[in-house]
Amino acid sequence: MSIIFEGNLADRSTWTLDDCSISMTMDAIGNRSTIVILREALYGTTRFDDFVRRTKTTDAIVATRLKHLTELGLLTKEPYQEPGQRTRYEYLLTDKGKDLLPALFALKQWGDKYLQPEGGEPLRLVERATGEPIEIVARSASATDLGLDELAIVANGALAQEKRRTGAATRRRPKQSA
């Protein structure tokens, strides 16, 4: 079974989506080194040297990725100074960066299930207060867990308006600066 397209999207031959949010997200943060830096930021890493050490990535790559994540607004760069040392910077997650937690932990959950030996996941995400394992699931606003066959995709915003007006639902992604 797959997700169903409903309403004016049901005939997929009549429309395309050039500004898919999944595609745009992968364009923004989709390489391995960026993902592991975000993982480390979620785990509490804030300092450049620690990102290098914990991600086993070169200084140059970490510097490039931290700059990119800061420009995207996922991290903020804050100065700090140890006594007798020069001013340095730490990188803190913004709310925008914290909002990636479900996506990153969904990737972890998938890797635990399909890439690790059974029961062999190295880390387990649990609720701090109870120790119960956390699951990342598709859940409705009314707190109902949903399976793939219970999901539908409908046109929204400008795509819905365009489809109503012209019968076509083609939307182009705006050009991004380099």
Packing angle of the helix pair 59-71, 48-55 (nearest 10 deg): 120
Which residues, at least 6 apart from 24, have a Cβ–Cβ distance to it below 8 Å? Answer: 173
CA distance 177 to 152: 33
Q: What is the mean pLDDT of the chain?
A: 89
Where do the domains of the chain lie, and which CATH numbers do they carry? Answer: 31-94 (1.10.10.10)
Stretch (H or E) spanning 77: strand 75-81
Comparing C-alpha atoms, which of 173, 174, 164 is closest to residue 14? 164
Give the Cα separation of 152 and 159 in Å (integer): 16
The residue among 85, 33, 94 whose CA lies nearest residue 64 is 33
- Tell me, what's the pLDDT at 165? 57
Quick: pLDDT tens for 99-134: 999 999 999 999 999 999 987 889 999 999 999 999
Beta bridge partners of 91: 77
Beta bridge partners of 78: 90
- Give the model confidence (pLDDT) of 83-95 as tens digits: 999 999 999 999 9
Are residues 15 and 168 in contact, defined by beta-carbon separation less than 8 angstroms? yes
How far, in Å, CA of 167 to CA of 134, rounded? 43
Contact (CB, 8 A) for 155 and 8? yes
Give the pLDDT band (50/70/90) at residue 26. Answer: very high
> Is the confidence at residue 64, as pLDDT, over 50?
yes
Question: What's the CA gap between 35 and 38, in Å, rounded?
Answer: 5
Query: 116, 110, 100, 106: which is closest to 137 by C-alpha?
Result: 106
- Torsion angle of alpha carbons 81, 51, 113, 129, nearest 10°? -10
